[in-house]
C-alpha cells in the first residue's frame, strides 16, 4: 500500500476516477482508479447519476483544486484494468478527520459494499 498526491482529471462514475498521480521526482502517471470496497449504481440509472453528482459535490467541497490523496490497495490492475484505491481529501495530511470518499458513499446510501 502506497500513498500518492493525485490530481483529478475526470470522474468516470461514482466509483471510478481518472487521476494524474504524482510519483515523486517530477514523475507523474495517469491511472484509472476504482474506489476499493464499494459498488455504485451505473450511470445509465437515476441512482447512478445521483451518486455521481454527490461525488462531484464532495470533490468540490473537499478538493476544490482537484488534488486528493490516493492510497493504493493493490499495486496491480483488477480485472477491468483499473487500480484499486482509497481517495481522501488532501486535508487528511493536515490532521483533519475527514473520511475517505468510499466510506462517505456507503454512509449516504450512494454505494453498497463490494467484496
Per-residue DSSP letter, 66: S
Topology at the third CATH level for domain 3-113: OB fold (Dihydrolipoamide Acetyltransferase, E2P) (2.40.50)
**16-69 pLDDT, tens per residue?**
999 999 999 999 999 999 999 999 999 999 999 999 999 999 999 999 999 999
Over residues 92-114, the mean pLDDT reads 86
**6-17 pLDDT, tens per residue?**
999 999 999 999
Q: Is the pLDDT of residue 92 over 90?
A: no
> How many whole angstroms from its chain centre is CA 62?
12
What confidence score (pLDDT) does residue 8 get?
97
Where do the domains of the chain lie?
3-113
Q: Is the pLDDT of residue 96 over 80?
A: no
Per-residue DSSP letter, 81: S
Query: Please, is 88 exposed, middle or buried when counting C-beta atoms within 10 Å of its C-beta (0-12, 13-18, 19+)?
Result: buried
Amino acid at each position: 500500500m502506497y500513498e500518492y498526491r493525485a490530481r483529478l482529471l475526470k470522474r468516470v462514475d461514482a466509483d471510478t476516477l481518472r487521476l494524474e498521480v504524482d510519483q515523486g521526482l517530477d514523475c507523474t502517471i495517469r491511472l484509472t482508479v476504482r474506489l476499493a470496497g464499494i459498488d455504485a449504481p451505473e450511470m445509465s440509472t437515476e441512482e447512478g447519476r445521483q451518486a455521481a453528482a454527490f461525488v462531484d459535490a464532495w470533490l468540490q467541497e473537499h478538493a476544490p483544486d482537484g488534488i486528493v490523496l490516493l492510497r493504493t490497495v493493490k499495486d496491480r490492475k483488477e480485472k477491468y484494468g483499473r487500480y484499486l484505491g482509497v481517495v481522501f481529501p488532501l486535508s487528511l495530511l493536515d490532521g483533519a478527520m475527514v473520511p475517505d470518499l468510499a466510506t462517505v458513499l456507503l454512509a449516504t446510501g450512494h454505494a453498497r459494499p463490494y467484496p
